[in-house]
Chain A
């Protein structure tokens, strides 16, 4: 492995903003994006709060200048375009450029419409609603919009998906296989996931309270987050202004239960430990942790225990930005990577909303205010069903 991998750009769209600068203002003003369902046609409207992106598919299609396709793809195009525009890269066609995206629902937002007619008569249902169902199709729609042909790939490891796409992108650059990678993930709100998580009884009917003793579940969100990764060579040739590198990462498996995390958080502990080793950093070097922090009883207890074991009594500043955005599933790792990069670029940390009381036995008190502070190294955690655990560290170049 040779050379550093730089983050040349980042883009985000989620419940608290249609761009990364907009999300920064929401963090500064502590404006939550969690609210009632407005667009999704579901019986849970008015009951289950969610983090919806405020733009309709029509709005998104107009902005991205892309004909209306799946919402997952439209959100992805929006954030990936912002990431690429902010990178300062003029012409990606002269480099070996790849797009590595992640999604858990793919085109499910339209497939579930198709199924209404199809389930009555399997010759019915508009085929245009299922043609983009498969996860890779959302990536290809983004690639087409960005004019990326050289390499495309898609990851689905549930809620850790988009951290894994950034890790894979970083490795492909480190191994000299690609020069530029747009990496991240996208997921739209769907009835499928809303009902899925509801059937598991882990959705809070109130706005979520990550890491709080009284937490009672997560709120689903939607969005997309992408970063633009470049090699040292591209950075120099294009005279790019990148101040953040991907310094460490790890992917492990909890191997405990299909949906529940082990009480001691063995998978998440291993992911954090290995990521620190790859980065050649000590726990005390981490200035801020962007927690997975879903707000479920199980995740926060398990992650909190692992963080305590890893960092001891001198904890870095930490918060779950899911208290603003909701849990965006396959997009959360990409979104939170964009936030982590922003924390280093703007030298700040983000608040954890609605925290009042620490979890007993663990006693972790997250950051509750937006704060300007020295931030050199940020760790971002993403864990998913199936025991998939990933940690990534971004550092000041």
Chain B
């Protein structure tokens, strides 16, 4: 059982659309708010629709369109979206107006567009896709839940083309609130949208996603056991969901012990910290497996083209996930 990636679309703090790999010139955060670089949306979305879409919908629709084009799929059989916070801009707008207007004469549009499933359902509406449509909203496990659902579906029917993605946005309101929790001391606040078309057929695949595991409030022994079990998979590269080795030293001890010969890379200095950053990690992993090259900003040393990559994400210590990927 594995998911074979057939197409990808990624909107992030780097210029990651219409490219096969991370650009040589990477952007580093200049403040604690690491904003995504947005493409010219008219390349991916009907200009008539663009002005009606909120920013996060544009994130989702454009990345989904890129993934579908790459896979040469017009309408997928299923759409599965992961988003921790959903459509924050519209949520904030409706809340503010509700308080400002003392609950009278409110415009329903921001309310309608505030629910988490707006992203997946807008994609379905634009594509006229009447198939399975699901939205996971569980913090830093949102995209991991998407992967597990897709793995199950492709086991049932490997021919199904499944559009999967993870998307979250920063808004002025969310940034102001999250800053007060002092969680961006080591990594900047991030945002982004990464979508993939996957199915269970290996032909012409960019890379494969072999398994996903999530650990809620884990003991390090559970993580160690899981990593030990993965030992004989001959992992060449571990992409850690941190900005550098100074974050989560306990986790890194276990990684170094379990995979002494693997190269260790980091990716959150490239995308920032946000709940579905693992979707960026999977995109990065897939480009590394496809091109055989690990970008300089990710791993310090030169390494041979990796065949097995582990995306090991952590979010504020309470959520850890392990996504195994292979070259095709």
Which of A's residues lie within 8 Å of B, judged by CB?
1, 42-44, 104, 106, 111-112, 115-116, 118-119, 122-123, 127, 130-131, 134-137, 139-140, 143, 149, 151-158, 164, 168, 171-172, 175, 177, 191-192, 195-196, 198-200, 251-259, 266-267, 270, 384-388
Whether A257 contacts B117 in the complex (CB less than 8 A), given A136-B138, A140-B216, A200-B112, comes out as no
> What mask results when residues 118 to 140 of chain B are scored 1 for a CB within 8 Å of chain A, else 0?
10111011011111111111110
The reply on B313 being an interface residue by CB < 8 A is no
Q: Are A252 and B85 closer than 8 Å at their CB atoms?
A: no
- Contact of A154 with B136 at beta-carbon distance under 8 Å, contacts A42-B103, A115-B96, A140-B216 already known: yes
A1 and B103 alpha carbons, distance in the complex (Å): 50
A136 touches B137 (CB 8 A): yes
Could you tell me which residues of chain B, from 130 to 174, have a CB within 8 Å of some CB in chain A? Answer: 130-139, 141-142, 145, 148-149, 152, 155-156, 173
- Of the A-B pairs whose beta carbons lie under 8 Å apart in the complex, a sample of 8, sorted by A's number, is A42-B103, A119-B100, A140-B139, A149-B216, A154-B137, A155-B135, A156-B86, A385-B118
User: Could you tell me if A156 and B117 are in contact, using CB atoms closer than 8 angstroms?
Assistant: yes
Alpha-carbon separation in the docked complex, A196 to B90 (Å): 12
> What residues on B are CB-neighbors of A127 within 8 Å?
177, 180-181
Could you tell me the distance between the alpha carbons of A158 and B113 in the complex, rounded to whole angstroms?
11
**Cβ contact within 8 Å between B84 and A385:** no
Using Cβ atoms and an 8 Å threshold, which residues of chain A touch B102? 43
Most buried by A among B84, B130, B176: B130
For residue B214, CB closer than 8 A to chain A, the reply is yes
In the docked arrangement, what's the CA distance between A191 and B181, Å?
Answer: 25
Residue of B nearest to A137 (CB): B139
- Check A111–B95 contact: CB distance below 8 A: yes
Tell yes or no: B107 within 8 A of A by CB: yes
Cβ of A158 and Cβ of B117 under 8 Å apart?
A: yes
Contact with A along B176-212 (1 / 0, CB 8 A): 1100110000000000000000000000000000000
Is the Cβ of B138 less than 8 Å from the Cβ of A171? Answer: no
A125 to B94 CA separation, bound complex (whole angstroms): 18
**Candidates B85, B112, B116, B135; contact of A258 at CB < 8 Å:** B112
Chain B residues within an 8 Å CB radius of A200: 108, 111-112
In the complex the two chains form, what is the Cα distance from A123 to B177 in whole Å? 8
In angstroms, Cα B176 to Cα A258, docked, is 30
Contact in complex: A154, B111 (CB < 8 Å)? no
CB nearest neighbor in A for B98: A195
A252 with B130: CB separation less than 8 A: yes
Q: How far apart are B86's CB and chain A's nearest CB, in angstroms?
A: 7
Residues of chain B lying within 8 A (CB to CB) of residue A385:
112, 115, 117-118, 121
* CA–CA, A135 and B87, complex, Å: 12
A387, B125: Cβ atoms under 8 Å?
yes
Chain B proximity of A325: nearest CB distance (Å): 21
Q: A156 and B115 in contact (CB under 8 A), knowing A136-B141, A270-B130?
A: yes
Determine the chain B residues whose CB is within 8 A of the CB of A196 once the complex forms. Answer: 94, 106, 108, 111-112, 114
A140 to B214, CA, bound (A): 13
* Neighbouring B residues of A384 by C-beta, 8 Å: 117
What chain B residues lie within 8 Å of A134 (beta carbons)?
A: 84-85, 137, 139, 275
The answer on a CB contact under 8 Å between A252 and B141 is: no
Count residues on chain B whose CB falls below 8 Å from chain A CBs.
60
**A313 CB, nearest partner CB in chain B, Å:** 26
Tell me whether A387 and B116 are in contact (CB under 8 A): no
From the candidates A1, A112, A157, A267, name the one contacting B134 in the complex (CB within 8 A).
A157
A175 touches B130 (CB 8 A): no
With an 8 A cutoff between CB atoms, is B99 at the interface?
Answer: yes
Check if A119 sits within 8 Å of B129, measured CB to CB. Answer: no
Give the Cβ gap from A366 to chain B, nearest Cβ, in Å: 27
In-complex Cβ contact of B141 among A112, A152, A199, A255 (8 A): A152
Q: Kindly provide the distance from the CB of B255 to the nearest chain A CB, expressed in whole angstroms.
A: 21
Q: How far is the CB of A147 from chain B (nearest CB, A)?
A: 11
> Which of chain B's residues have a CB closer than 8 A to the CB of A152?
138, 141, 214, 216
Interchain CA distance A152-B133 in the complex, whole Å:
20
Contacts A122-B176, A135-B138 supplied; 11 other A-B pairs, CB < 8 Å: A118-B176, A123-B180, A127-B180, A130-B177, A153-B148, A157-B133, A175-B155, A255-B124, A259-B112, A386-B118, A386-B121
The CA of A44 and the CA of B103, in the complex, are separated in Å by: 8
In the assembled complex, B250 has its CB within 8 A of some CB on chain A: no
Q: Do the beta carbons of B98 and A191 come within 8 Å of each other?
A: yes
Closest to B172 in A: A122
Query: Which residues of chain A are near B108, meaning CB under 8 Å?
Result: 196, 199-200
Report A-chain residues with C-beta under 8 Å of the C-beta of B84.
134-136
Q: Does B233 contact A (CB under 8 A)?
A: no
Q: Which B40-92 residues sit within 8 Å CB-CB of chain A?
A: 79, 84-86
- Least distance between B115 CB and chain A CB atoms (Å): 5
B134 touches A164 (CB 8 A): yes
Provide the residues of chain A in CB contact with B116, threshold 8 Å: 104, 135, 156-157
Q: Give 7 nearest A-B pairs by CB, closest first.
A: A386-B121, A196-B111, A136-B138, A154-B138, A199-B108, A136-B139, A156-B116
A385-B117, A388-B133 known; A43 vs B99 contact (CB < 8 Å)? no
A131: B residues at CB distance < 8 A = 181
Chain B residues within 8 Å of A112, by CB = 95, 98-99
Q: Looking at the complex, which one of A43, A143, A156 makes contact with B103 (CB distance below 8 Å)?
A: A43
**Pairwise interchain contact A255-B142, C-beta atoms closer than 8 A:** no
Residues of A within 8 A of B145 (CB): 153-154
- A119 and B111 contact, Cβ closer than 8 Å, known pairs A134-B84, A157-B135, A266-B130: no
Task: Look across to chain B and name the residue whose beta carbon is closest to the beta carbon of A274.
Answer: B132
A151 smallest CB distance to B (angstroms): 7
Q: Are A136 and B120 in contact (CB under 8 A)?
A: no
Which B residues lie within 8 Å of A106 (CB)?
137
State in angstroms the CA–CA spacing of A164 and B128 once bound together: 21
A237 to chain B, nearest CB (A): 24
> In the complex, what distance in Å separates the CA atom of A245 from the CA atom of B204?
41
CA gap between A321 and B162 in the complex, in Å: 35
Complex Cα gap A134–B168 (Å): 12
* A171/B111 contact (C-beta < 8 A), A122-B176, A157-B133 known: no
Asked whether B133 lies within 8 Å of A252 as measured between CB atoms, the reply is yes
Contacting residues, chain B, for A253 (C-beta < 8 A): 79, 121, 124, 129-133
